């Protein structure tokens, strides 16, 4: 396997809080990695730096041959659209659009026609068990439904990397495991790399590797058997 994503000594402050302080890791193409660690240790900040949502103020982020931290906002947004699927803790869906439209819009950005995108969106909502949600707006969805729709949106574009921040946090454990299973099955079928932030050991155990973050840096990397 070849390295796909790398943080080299990444640091980032929010005001006086040093959220990341010299975080380094390497993730290979096709790997499923869980980032775990105590609350406030910097897991989400690291995920946001790896996915180009935030730019570190020290160190480097590499995606393939690209220095992600040196790209401007437009280039990072394009890369996120074209290569990444992102599942936020609270869905991150566009409130004015229906669930079906939320899934379809990135497909249209990717070049599909309206009808084709709408059909594919319904198919993905079906796969994540959210067919009923298609005509609803995010404000009318439960937490679990929101996460299903967010997952459908992230997977539909066929991303190279899926970044997920507590993707099953709003679901009870059986539903959470089912959704996680769907993410991992889809990812392994397509060789998609998955970077998953979780505080739940049961979820981390599904990953190929667990990376533990403490005090803004990578504390240890442990191989977790599948």
- Which sign, positive or negative, has the C-alpha torsion 213, 10, 183, 105? positive
Q: Which part of the chain contacts ligand ATP (CB under 6 A), choosing from 11-19, 113-121, 122-130, 155-163?
A: 11-19
Binder among 7, 11, 25, 45 for ligand ATP (CB under 6 A):
45
Residues 146 and 138: beta-carbon distance below 8 Å: yes
Cβ distance 22 to 9 under 8 Å? yes
Q: Does 19 bind ligand ATP (CB under 6 A)?
A: yes
Separation between Cα atoms, residue 109 and residue 46, nearest integer Å: 27
Q: How far is CA 192 from CA 27, 32, 94, 183, 185, in A?
A: 12, 8, 25, 10, 10
Question: Closest distance between ligand ATP and the C-beta of residue 53, in Å?
Answer: 11
Nearer to ligand ATP (CB atom), residue 30 or residue 169: 169
- Sorted by sequence, the CB contacts under 8 Å of residue 119 that are 6+ apart come out as none
Q: Which is nearer to ligand ATP, 36 or 102 (CB)?
A: 36
Give, as ranges, the residues between 178 and 217 that touch ligand ATP (CB under 6 A).
199
Question: Which CB sits closer to ligand ATP, 54 or 141?
Answer: 54
- Shortest Cβ 2–ligand ATP spacing (Å): 28
């Amino acid at each position: 396997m070849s390295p796909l994503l790398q943080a080299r000594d990444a640091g980032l402050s929010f005001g006086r809080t040093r959220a990341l302080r010299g975080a380094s890791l390497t993730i290979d193409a096709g790997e499923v990695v869980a980032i775990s660690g105590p609350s406030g240790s910097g897991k989400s900040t690291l995920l946001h730096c790896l996915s180009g949502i935030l730019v570190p103020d020290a160190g480097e982020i590499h995606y393939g041959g690209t220095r992600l931290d040196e790209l401007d906002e437009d280039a990072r947004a394009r890369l996120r659209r074209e290569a990444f699927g992102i599942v936020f803790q609270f869905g991150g869906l566009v409130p004015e659009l229906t669930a079906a439209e939320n899934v379809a819009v990135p497909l249209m950005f990717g070049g599909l026609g309206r009808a084709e995108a709408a059909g594919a969106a319904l198919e993905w909502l079906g796969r994540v068990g959210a067919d009923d949600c298609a005509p609803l707006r995010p404000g009318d969805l439960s937490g679990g439904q929101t996460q299903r729709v967010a997952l459908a949106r992230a997977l539909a574009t066929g991303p190279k990397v899926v970044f997920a921040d507590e993707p099953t946090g709003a679901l009870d454990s059986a539903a959470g495991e089912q959704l996680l299973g769907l993410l991992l099955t889809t990812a392994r079928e397509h060789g998609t790399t998955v970077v998953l932030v979780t505080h739940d050991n049961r979820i981390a155990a599904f990953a190929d590797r667990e990376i533990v973050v403490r005090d803004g840096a990578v504390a240890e990397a442990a191989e977790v058997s599948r």
